[in-house]
Structure formats: C-alpha cells, structure tokens
Amino acid sequence: MAQATGTGHRIAPEHTHPDDVPVLAALAALADPVRMKLVRELSGSLGWTRSCGSFDVPVGKAALSHHFAVLRGTGLIEQRDVGPKRVNRLRREEFDARFPGLLALVLSPDPRDR
Amino acid sequence: MAQATGTGHRIAPEHTHPDDVPVLAALAALADPVRMKLVRELSGSLGWTRSCGSFDVPVGKAALSHHFAVLRGTGLIEQRDVGPKRVNRLRREEFDARFPGLLALVLSPDPRDR
C-alpha cells in the first residue's frame, strides 16, 4: 500500500534516447569518476535491480541525483519508479548502436585507473 | 637565423604516450568543444604542418595553450618546435591502439553537434 502511494507522488523521469545525444555530451557524461563508477556497477547488475541508493559512491544525495540525471539525459540509463525506489538499467544495446565501442572502453578493466 | 635562435629559447614540450593515459583522462580531454575542434582540424592536415596559431577556435592564447597541453598530456598530439613555431601532429595510430574506436567517434561527422 505504502509503495503504491509512493509512486503517485513522484514525477516520472524524462529520458533521452542515445540516438539524440551529441558525441560531446556522451563523452562528457562518461568523463566523470562518479558517473563512470555508476555505469560500471550498473553493467554488472541485471536491469531494474539497482535502486539509486544502492551504489557505493562517495557523494551526497543531491550530487548523486544530478549524476543520475546526466546519465539519463545522455541515453546511458533508463529509470523507473517502483514504490518509493527509483530503479535503473543500463541502455547498453541502444548506446552501443549509437556510439560503437565507447561503453566497452569504459567497462573494460583499466590498470591505469586511479 | 631568427628561426634557429628562437628554438633555443623554448623548453621542449613534454609528452605522454597514450599507453600511459587512463580512460577517464582520455574521455575528459575529448569532452570539450575547443579540444574536439582542434583534434578534428588536425585530423584533416598532414602531420607537422599545423602550428598552434593556425587553428580557428574562439579562445585566447593562454586558453589555447592550456588546451594543447591537455591534448599532449593525454597522448592525443605530439608537438615540436620549429623556429618560432610549435607544430603539431595527431597521434592517431598510437591513440587508436590504446583506445580503439574513440577517435573514430570524435572524427565522424555528427549531425547532432551543436
């Protein structure tokens, strides 16, 4: 019951399809250590299983919300409200089709990562 | 004569090989409209034919110098002093080997570019 009520009080997130994203915006979205970590963690989870609060990143709630909005606005993730939780999936296929190889670069383990 | 003298007064630029560049730094270097334009213009010119002052970008001298330093520090360009001029080449092969497909994404014409 509480879950159903919770859903009604939130504005559904707006999405941008990767096809509508300029390459500059896609690069800028991924060129951030927190967003890169979110994308990497998300890639290791089944779609719609990770809520926004379940990621291990060293930022506050407002900053985290901003990072998710950037990922959504550049076609990297899709979000859905399930009761009080907002859950996520990586738009891997669509993003790969638009930017071949880019996600692979970000997701491959990099010994030079700091 | 003036050319030869000019060379002696400058500190040769330091370079970073693409193999030593983290993916985050490579993305950040390319996720900038001025640097993207420099890379695109450079890709259309023969190596060592373009001096730093020959690019059509809307920034001052200090900012331009910073942008070139970022490109050099992320293995995207190589620079050499020839008399009073600093000339450039895109390290396309080395960068491609380290980050397959990334330069191709940046260099392909993008109707969504603003």
- CATH (domain of A77): 1.10.10.10
Q: pLDDT digit string (tens) for B15-33? A: 999 999 999 999 999 999 9
Within-domain flag for B10 = no
Q: How many CA atoms lie within 13 A of B110 on its CB side?
A: 22
Q: Which of B17, B21, B24, B35 to mutate against chain A (most A CBs within 10 Å)?
A: B24
ipTM for this model: 0.89
> Cβ of A101 and B106 within 8 Å?
no
Say how many C-beta atoms besides its own lie within 10 A of residue B18's C-beta: 18
Q: Number of residue pairs across A and B with CB atoms under 8 Å?
A: 63
**What string of pLDDT tens digits covers the 114 residues of chain A?**
334 444 455 789 999 999 999 999 999 999 999 999 999 999 999 999 999 999 999 999 999 999 999 999 999 999 999 999 999 999 999 999 999 999 999 999 888 875
Smallest Cα distance from A99 to chain B, Å: 7
Give residue A74's domain range: 18-103
Q: How confident is the model at residue B114 (pLDDT cuts 50, 70, 90)?
A: low
What pLDDT does A3 receive?
43
Within-domain flag for A111 = no
Within-domain flag for A7 = no
> What is the rounded distance in angstroms from the CA atom of residue A43 to the CA atom of residue A24?
22
Q: Is B106 on the interface with A (CB under 8 A)?
A: yes
Within-domain flag for B49 = yes
- Answer left, alpha or beta for residue A47, where phi above 0 means left and psi between -120 and 50 means alpha: beta
> What are the b/e assignments for B76-96, b being 16+ CB within 10 Å?
bbbbebeeebbbbbbbbeebe
Tokens of A102: 């880019």
Within-domain flag for A75 = yes
Within-domain flag for A1 = no
Tokens of B68: 């070139």
Q: Contacts of residue A30 in chain B, CB cutoff 8 Å?
A: 27, 31
Please give the tally of structural domains in chain B. Answer: 1
Within-domain flag for A88 = yes
Greatest alpha-carbon pair distance for chain A in Å reads: 48
